[in-house]
Amino acid sequence: MANWSLKERINRIFANCNGVDVILIANTEKMDPNFQYLTGFAGDFYEGSIVLVKRTGATIIASELEYGDVHKTKPNGMAVVKIKSREQIMGFLKKELQNKKVGMNYGFITQQIYARIKKRYKPAKTIDVSVAFARARQIKDRYEIQQIKKASAITKKAMKEIQSKLKVGITEKELAREFDYLCASHGSDGPAFSTIVSFGKNTALIHHSPSNTRLQYGDMVMIDAGSKVNNYCSDVTRTFIFGSGKARIRDYKKKRRIIEIVKEAQSAALKEIRKGVKAPTPHNTAYNHIAAADAGEYKRFNFPYALGHPVGLEVHDAGDGFYPNSKLILAENMVITDEPGIYVQGFGGARIEDDILITKKGPIVL
């Protein structure tokens, strides 16, 4: 049984949407993250499954094949209806949806399923509840924070250990596989996303896909990776220089300085990541620090993206991030990344990223 409160999550969702009688979340061949949020279930076993949500509770519709597992692992407060035939499920849904104001996740549901629901079950109105779920999911409960913290710890441990695997001639692809293995050995359920590894000039490519580029002595090395624990993600990036002989490393001072400036920018932004602060503030703080450093030498190589994004069931989780025009006001129990960077095309770049929990007393690096 889940050690989190389904009722609290339902209350949070309905607090962000008005005029909805019932919410329908339907999986396709993929699982809607909002289905995971409501059920805690993982994997692809629940293809095509449906959960109905009312203010008083939630009901999952399960086939005979799934019923045993669903009933055993469902959260407290969730009912389970066993459906034996197509006609039975259609009758059940018609009873629940007809002439009701039905909320659906327009950001996930397919046009085909949407049209089928409108035709078969004749709701009085359909309403997009994707924003309501995003706002609910942006505030993490204790269970969610614990899982993200575990995932971050695994990723950071692997970041330290992976440096012993560096050797001249290893490829980006090989190092990415080594990293994923280390995370798995420490308890990760799998990568939160495809691990990014880049060497040398490739570190200036923000989302470079690992290639057969081989590591050379003195290269900058960037690893951007995350782990999953019980569906929850982490997202961590580290940049370092391969090799200990400073005198032997070409442009060592410049490489070291780029990394230092990014670390300084990240630390400056971290001080602004507090309850009640407007989201653009940390972004602007980090951006302006890089722009002013070393008489503006790296201003035009500043990071061209939002300083951070929410982390949770998805690595880029539901909700707003730290971008210049964001209307978000930071709140307690948000988990969001802090990831400034410098990217000098043809030379190399650096990004430093951590997952940050906002608490009453200030930010905590997970």
Residues facing residue 50 across a β-bridge: 26, 61
Determine the Cα–Cα distance for residues 83 and 234; give it in Å rounded to an integer.
Answer: 37
Residues 6+ apart with CB under 8 A from 19: 101, 125, 127
Domains of the chain: 6-137 (3.40.350.10), 140-365 (3.90.230.10)
Supply 134's token pair.
Answer: 């995003």
Q: What is the DSSP string of 15-46?
A: TT--S-SEEEEE--SS--HHHHHHH---SSTT
Summarised one tens digit per residue, pLDDT across range 25-36 is 998 888 899 999
Summarised one tens digit per residue, pLDDT across range 71-116 is 788 888 899 988 888 888 899 999 999 999 999 999 998 899 899 9
Whether residue 1 has pLDDT greater than 50: no
Whether residue 44 has pLDDT greater than 60: no
Give the three-state DSSP class for 5: coil
Summarised one tens digit per residue, pLDDT across range 269-286 is 999 999 999 999 999 999
Q: What is the pLDDT of residue 48?
A: 75
In the predicted model, what is the mean pLDDT of residues 209-219?
97
Q: What is the DSSP string of 263-301?
A: HHHHHHHHTT--TT-BTHHHHHHHHHHHHHGGGGTTGGG
pLDDT band at 366 (very low <50, low <70, confident <90, very high): very high
Contact 202/213 with Cβ under 8 angstroms?
A: yes
296 or 67: whose pLDDT is higher?
296
Q: What is the pLDDT of residue 122?
A: 95
pLDDT band at 2 (very low <50, low <70, confident <90, very high): low
Summarised one tens digit per residue, pLDDT across range 147-160 is 999 999 999 999 99
Instruction: Outline where DSSP puts E strands in the chain.
Output: 22-26, 50-54, 57-63, 78-83, 101-104, 125-128, 196-199, 220-225, 228-229, 232-233, 236-241, 335-338, 341-344, 348-351, 354-359, 362-365
Summarised one tens digit per residue, pLDDT across range 226-266 is 999 999 999 999 999 999 888 889 999 999 999 999 999 99
